[in-house]
Amino acid sequence: MNILVYRYGSICEPDFISGFRELGNNVHELSYEMADKCIPADRLIRLVSQELDQHSYDFVFSINFFPFLSEVCNIYHIRYLCQTVDSPVMELFSYSVTNPWNRIFLFDMQQYREIAPLNPDCVFHLPLATNPSRWDSVINNATAGQIQKYSSDISFVGSLYTEKCPYNRFTGSQTYLGGFLEGLMNSQERIYGYHFLEECLTDSMVDEFRAHLPGFYTPPELFRRDDRIAMVRLYMDAKISVKERLHIMQIVGNHFGIDLYTGSNTDGLPVRNRGLAKSLTEMPLIFHHSKINLNITSKSIREGLPLRIFDVLGCGGFLITNYQSEIPELFTPDEDLVLYDSYDDLVDKIEFYLTHENRRKEIAHNGHEKVCRFHNYPERILQMISLAYGL
């Protein structure tokens, strides 16, 4: 197949491209947006159209959904395949999702249930994947100094979101609504497997919140507007993720100590801030040489598995992660990875696995074997193409 890949700079793009090529496909990349994030939409439309005029492609592919790509492909009657890796993806509220030439793949089942009814034959659920061969290359070529540097008892790689939480613009924290929302968020923080915020908010609450948050999200033209969804997924979910990560750093740091790789401010937290980790050259070594890796899924991901789960296992790392309802569909808990469902449970499991090395290594081995066999990019791409072409 001849494939046109539109790139904007997602960390997943190189893995999909190498996966396409490994399966024998020809891939051409359009990377205008990587070089210029401010490039106007009308110019992008012209550039993509020119490419489709000059060359023949079986389909266009992108990470996440781009309405303008959907519209161009719809005009040219060429399939547009895209895979979400983020949540929320507000572009899914574009009316373009109904175009018949779309083939939209959503990693979170909640995304799928919400979007699929708008275009039932063209929207699919498809989990994410990892690239074990790339990680193995980094791990196998590590020096003794690198191994020593990145070895940890417990590590977490990621932002605390404190520096970029949009909820912090809310000016009504001292109102009744502010207290009510604080209680809701504190409750949701401690519940895994069920997300209840949207059903607890009245229209008047949403209106009041919008009035007290400067720059509240306004969808572009030709997008469906739902302020309740925007309030929860863009603002409240982000604040809950901040709370959860700070609490876990405090609890785990006080009990055991933790190496935190982040650009976030960690003043006052009992952690060793190791700074930012390079995704392609340092993260694999952290994942592989940490006795325990933590994953704390962003609250905006309702049911699906974030990329971090696949990548830790793809590096042969031992993982303790919060419960997500889709995990048992892909992995066997306590055989491939370990789940926690409360902060006390997390502390107990960290304590157990720090002192049971053989069991810890066995689980890490099982998880690595499973992603190598079932959750690599060529395997996922074959599933995607099969669904896209009804094979």
Express each pLDDT in 121-162 by its tens digit.
999 999 999 999 999 999 999 999 999 999 999 999 999 999
Residue type, 373: R
Kindly report, residue by residue over 261-309, the tens digit of the pLDDT: 999 999 999 999 999 999 999 999 999 999 999 999 999 999 999 999 9
Give the list of residues 6+ apart from residue 45 with CB closer than 8 angstroms, or none: 68, 71, 72
Kindly report, residue by residue over 105-131, the tens digit of the pLDDT: 999 999 999 999 999 999 999 999 999
pTM of the entire predicted model: 0.96
Q: How far is CA 17 from CA 52, 238, 256, 279, 381, in A?
A: 19, 31, 40, 17, 10
The whole-number pLDDT of residue 66 equals: 97
Residue ranges and CATH numbers for the domains of the chain are 2-129+377-388 (3.40.50.2000), 132-374 (3.40.50.2000)
